[in-house]
Amino acid sequence: MHELFANWYSQVSPQMDSKRLDDRWKAVDAYGNALTTKKTTGVVLLASGIGDGKPTGDELRQAAKKVDTTYVSSDDALELKVLAAAVIARSLGVPSDQSDALALGYLCVSFSRKLLSQMHEDLHRLCLEYIVKEGIRIRDEGITFPPLNAKTTTELLKKQPEAPDGPTARLQMHEAVTQLLKSASEYADESSKSFARLHDLQREDSNVAFLVVSAYAFTTGEPFSEMTRAEAALIAAHELACVTKLTPVLVAHDAVLSALLKHTKGRKDLLSIREAVNGVKIEVQKRLIGTAAIVPEVMPCHFALQKAVEVNGKDVWNSAFATATGLNPDDEHPTLDLVRQAYLEGMLRTVLAS
């Protein structure tokens, strides 16, 4: 059971007994074990109380019913929200595509929303910690090689009883050599994987370094110095997402995005989603949205691009955006916050599409 689960559940029932708490956690555990990457956005929406969490809520109720005699009723919105939050917290304990998607999804859905409760603060912190730790772990693995764990034939033979005759001695020697060869083969396989990880890591580092040094956007075929801050915002996020291959999020993403933005024309510190989308030409908008699925409440930047493309780049999509996301496209945000959001959305779409 996650250490914060009891605290979160105190919102639902301050006198929750330990057996009921254990049973509810069993439901969380069972649901988490069966969770697919495609369904993670439903968990995120339910935990945050944003959008339609009914399908996920129904599934969680059924999971609880199988392990607990007390049914979670359809109007127990708070309890279902706590269960969904617990699914996220539980999943973050073990790296996986589902964990990546849950962490990224929750960070994305929190954008421009004041989710004021201790549980939401805890979840936001856990998700941030997860993507940082995961990024560091994957990079550490990329420069770690396995130790040669093979024992010498002599050491293996010493542990065997003295052979009573020649055939037995030859058999023991054969077994020792076979074990040695097996260890050497396993070492070679692990070393090969380590070299592949190191190659991928070096390639990602090289691509990120080239992006920063050149300050050139392949999406548009022009340097960032030729763009306004509004035009560059979503393009910079897209460029960095394209070169982030190994980790759920590049640990130094803020530094890279800031480095790209500093080349742009003007020094606009605040930017709205509407300005960022309308600052991009229609042909570029189409390249930025790609083909991966878009969940409006979780991916407002990409959803705004999608709506703009549907009306051929005309500035008449704000009403549809506000209805689907619950956000105001004209709200201004610190430019780096908006660009980071677009980057996280891009990484989430990559995980969901895998």
pLDDT band at residue 1, thresholds of 50, 70 and 90?
confident
pLDDT at 229 exceeding the cut of 90: yes
* Residue 83: how many other CB atoms lie within 10 Å: 29
Mean pLDDT of 140-148: 71
Higher pLDDT, 74 or 3: 3
Which residue type does 98 have? Q
Tally the residues of the chain. 354
Query: For residue 187, what are the contacts with CB-CB under 8 A and spacing of at least 6?
Result: 146, 148, 149, 150
Given a cut of 70, whether residue 281 has pLDDT beyond it is yes
Provide the total of helices (H) and of strands (E) in the chain, helices listed first: 16, 4
Mean pLDDT of the chain: 87
Mean pLDDT calculated for residue range 63-73: 74
pTM of the model: 0.85
Contacts of 349 (CB under 8 A, 6+ apart): 290, 292, 293, 294, 299, 302
Name the nearest CA neighbour of 60 among 73, 41, 51.
73
> What are residue 271's phi and psi, to 5 degrees?
-150, 140
SS3 assignment for 132-154: HHHHHHHHHHHCCCCCCCCCCHH
User: Rounded to the nearest 10 degrees, how much is the dihedral formed by the CA atoms of 213, 217, 222, 228?
Assistant: -90
Average pLDDT over residues 116-130: 93
Whether 309 shows a pLDDT value over 70: the answer reads yes
Q: Choose among 236, 273, 242: nearest CA to 255.
A: 236
Express each pLDDT in 233-260 by its tens digit.
999 999 999 999 888 899 999 999 999 9
274: its two tokens: 């509407």
- Looking at residue 77, its pLDDT comes to 84
pLDDT score at 278: 94
Q: Which of 224, 243, 226 is nearest to 234 (CA)?
A: 224
- Quick one: angle between helices 300-310 and 318-325, nearest 10? 140
What DSSP line would sit under 210-225, residue for residue?
Answer: HHHHH-EETTTTEEGG
For the chain, give percent helix, strand, coil, nearest 5.
65, 5, 30
